[in-house]
């Protein structure tokens, strides 16, 4: 695959990979699980903002 990245977070897609990514971003349809996750995230964000609260995330490695 022709994906290049650096320590500073830059990602470069080349030729065919860039065309495929552009097509997916333009014409791709999100999965139902992605829509539901985004919906829950928006609800949580609004609740957090309205209550003036703070958020603490705990990350665990994937299995």
Q: In sequence order, what are the residues at sequence separation of 6 or more whose Cβ sits closer than 8 angstroms to the Cβ of residue 5?
A: 11, 12
3: pLDDT confidence band, cut at 50, 70 and 90?
low
User: For residue 3, which of 23, 18, 24 has the smallest C-alpha distance?
Assistant: 18
What predicted TM-score, i.e. pTM, was given to this entire model? 0.44
User: What average pLDDT does the segment 18-34 reach?
Assistant: 88
29-49 per-position pLDDT tens digit:
889 999 999 999 889 888 888
Whether 55 contacts 41, CB under 8 Å: no
Residue appearing with tokens 């209550």: 51
E-only strand ranges, the chain: 3-5, 11-13
Predicted local distance difference test score (pLDDT) of residue 58:
83
């Amino acid at each position: 695959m022709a994906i290049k990245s650096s320590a500073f977070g830059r990602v470069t897609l080349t030729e065919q990979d860039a065309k495929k990514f552009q097509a997916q971003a333009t014409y791709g349809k999100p999965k139902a699980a992605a829509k539901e996750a985004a919906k829950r995230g928006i609800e949580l964000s609004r609740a957090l903002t309205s209550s003036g609260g703070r958020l603490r995330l705990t990350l665990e490695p994937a299995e």
